[in-house]
Structure 1
């Protein structure tokens, strides 16, 4: 009874881990092997996943090997599904063997494989189809596996199939949700003479979507508006709220209802409060505005922006110099609409790039924010010579955060050419 109770507890823990932690499928498979090993006190364990034909292995997840044993098997490929592995594939029912080498289906082990004698295994099925097989070898106490071990692993294999099925469904749901969010994000239009590039990445651990978004649109009078925002939350509700907020902001910009970014954000906050139950949102809205040139052939621009609780823009000059355009941020949207919003201005030298980003790019629980922001600025300066699209992806690939949150980056590059040469 004690063994049975322990087995039931571990099955419950496995299911809770899959559901509550929203783990990736690869992590679930490893957890299944480790849990099975613990249930029967096995030194070694493995899960063989079948390919679509159901006749061969497409994945093999071994556990329990020491570093020396792993090195000894270096270069040995995926098991071919022969011997006892093949027997379990063709006979998907629980099996218990005291001496592997004496079994009629045994074909021996590859060079470097540690010696193994006793084994217990069972098929893992999902919705009536065999997904793979679970193998346990060598009890720590040196005794052969008994009928209780066999029954335990057979029951566990059934529960493992349910856990894998749930993890697979969650994975597909995440993929569908991520695709949904990507469909909500814009395809940046040609804003000549400015160049733009953007990238969105979902969180990696745990993998989820969120409310990050970006946009860049042309305004009347030759200005360009750039916006980046982050709706609080990590689910479809946050993604839907993001879409509502983004569309409202675009409508306000296109209808030119306010003079500057601070007024637009104030109007956006009032509209959001009146029409939706959207959560707290951070936003940075910036205008790239033409200013009278000193030299008639060289276009000049300034950045005029307002920040609703969002990280500051990063200015990257053509020589690789970087500077955060730090200013006291106003409250995020959805906190207190009565508090006035402020604007800030800064010149944009010809050929310079302004990089907007969400906090998922820089937040790391083990490092102070000023350190991760300095790292992001250093990365931008190091790769300043890259084409804009390559630069923004390099920053996304080497971001200094821990990946716990989704991230978005938007880069807007001001023209550096003279009007006389036609932009070449």
Structure 2
């Protein structure tokens, strides 16, 4: 039996007790280095699909095989996905051939849970031939991906590039890679389960938007794309006792369970203060600041708090009054596609830092059919670009969607960056009615 590539087993021993150089020893060290590199590559990501591709690519590389594949199995043992390397058009081939079925040579891996090495595929007693469009393969080496008794899939290679059959060293290399790959795949699946649970928890903490008629309203929340963490981003909207519509978007400092909990506390405190006094946004913000700084370790947050009401603007139209606590400015999009960031010179600091710092209220008309966007920084911030570039891109995209339905506008803005976000995103969009007679909310 040939020796494993990471064990010398007495080969190449020098007379003085050291290890003498030999071509075989150099080859063994080279393959060991490739194996370690492959294990590192497989373990470098938590996205399941990426992990699967890296497993197959690493396997074909270290064994120098022409073809590689990984059949992903469900808990019941059914093949639910197939990742391939070496086939010119894997998507077309998969569409033509379908997924491997629960019989034939490959199912031996599932039955035996042991490595499988075949020198002549066509002569094997369990071989059932190749489906139409499948490359004809002569030799096969396969290992199951098993972690704590669970079979996650079957990793198999076919036809070495040099035309030689698979040997013991190839099997040892593939088995070692499969051990590390199985753990990486199990971790990736666990990570995705936790991420889904985290996202579900975060969404449950955000409110359902109430009926704000005649204003239209839509909101979105998207978690950070690559990080498993709870965020402090939130949005809220409600009708105040005086008939005005209160809107808010904010971001609590930090990303963990505590930040999510603090977000809920701050949102509820802000709701209570706004409903109780119906004061200008600057005063409401100041009262929130005073309440937060009474804590021994005050939480901090950036936010925009606003009031939308009818009758204050010229001609009895809508107006937006707001106060900004260290947050990105709201974006106003006119019905004609004109855009403007509402960013007055007097910009407040985040709440929870110093309650003695003055808070300011600002006001701006909301023309008929205009759209107001409040959002957190995850929508416009990217590690590789200045935030002003992100703000400019957002304004351009929103301008093109000025006449689009509000739900479509939100969906497009969220997906404009290929749904990859470095941070959580909260987005709240509101639109004033287009023309028509003045509409007064009952009880206003």
What TM-score range do you get, normalising by the shorter chain? 0.7 to 0.9
Aligned with residue 283 of structure 2, among 251, 258, 263: 263
- Is 1:349 the counterpart of 2:359? The answer is no
Asked if the contact 1:122/1:133 (under 8 Å) is kept, the reply is yes
| In structure 2, distance between residues paired with 1:375 and 1:238 | 29
Q: How does 1:352-391 map to 2 (within 5 A)?
A: 352-391=370-409
Asked if the contact 1:305/1:345 (under 8 Å) is kept, the reply is yes
Q: How does 1:318-337 map to 2 (within 5 A)?
A: 318-328=335-345, 329-337=347-355
Partner residue, 2:141 = 120
| In structure 2, distance between residues paired with 1:360 and 1:293 | 32
| In structure 2, distance between residues paired with 1:420 and 1:86 | 69
Q: CA 1:237–1:33 in 2, change beyond 3 Å: closer, same or farther? A: farther
CA offsets per residue over residues 50-69 of structure 1, 9 Å max, x none? 24542x4211111244xx46
- Is 1:221 the counterpart of 2:242? The answer is yes
Q: CA 1:335–1:380 in 2, change beyond 3 Å: closer, same or farther? A: same
Once superposed, what is the RMSD of the aligned Cα atoms? 3.1
Q: How does 1:73-152 map to 2 (within 5 A)?
A: 73=93, 75-81=95-101, 82-152=103-173
Q: CA 1:244–1:63 in 2, change beyond 3 Å: closer, same or farther? A: farther
Q: CA 1:401–1:371 in 2, change beyond 3 Å: closer, same or farther? A: farther
| In structure 2, distance between residues paired with 1:421 and 1:94 | 75
Partner residue, 1:57 = 79
- Is 1:30 the counterpart of 2:33? The answer is no
Asked if the contact 2:293/2:353 (under 8 Å) is kept, the reply is no
| In structure 1, distance between residues paired with 2:440 and 2:243 | 19
Query: Gaps spanning 5+ residues in structure 1: where?
Result: none
| In structure 2, distance between residues paired with 1:14 and 1:132 | 19
| In structure 2, distance between residues paired with 1:15 and 1:294 | 63
Aligned with residue 194 of structure 1, among 215, 218, 226: 215
CA offsets per residue over residues 162-210 of structure 1, 9 Å max, x none? 3222222221111111111111001111223333211111222346542
- Is 1:283 the counterpart of 2:303? The answer is yes
Aligned with residue 406 of structure 1, among 415, 424, 428: 424
- Is 1:245 the counterpart of 2:257? The answer is no
Asked if the contact 1:49/1:59 (under 8 Å) is kept, the reply is yes
Deviation at 1:420, TM superposition (A): 7.4
Deviation at 1:356, TM superposition (A): 0.8
Name the SS of the counterpart of 2:56 in structure 1. Answer: helix
Q: CA 1:69–1:144 in 2, change beyond 3 Å: closer, same or farther? A: farther
Name the SS of the counterpart of 1:248 in structure 2. Answer: helix
How many residue pairs align between the two structures?
Answer: 412
Name the SS of the counterpart of 2:260 in structure 1. Answer: helix
Q: CA 1:316–1:177 in 2, change beyond 3 Å: closer, same or farther? A: same
Deviation at 1:100, TM superposition (A): 2.4
CA offsets per residue over residues 113-167 of structure 1, 9 Å max, x none? 4453332211122442322211123334544322232233334333333322222
| In structure 1, distance between residues paired with 2:355 and 2:441 | 45
CA offsets per residue over residues 297-325 of structure 1, 9 Å max, x none? xx423212121221111112233332221
Return the TM-score normalized by structure 1.
Answer: 0.85
Name the SS of the counterpart of 2:96 in structure 1. Answer: coil
Deviation at 1:11, TM superposition (A): 7.8
CA offsets per residue over residues 365-412 of structure 1, 9 Å max, x none? 344433332332233232222332333223223358842222121112
Query: Gaps spanning 5+ residues in structure 2: where?
Result: 8-31
| In structure 1, distance between residues paired with 2:351 and 2:314 | 38
Asked if the contact 1:98/1:119 (under 8 Å) is kept, the reply is yes
Greater CA radius of gyration, 1 or 2?
Answer: 2
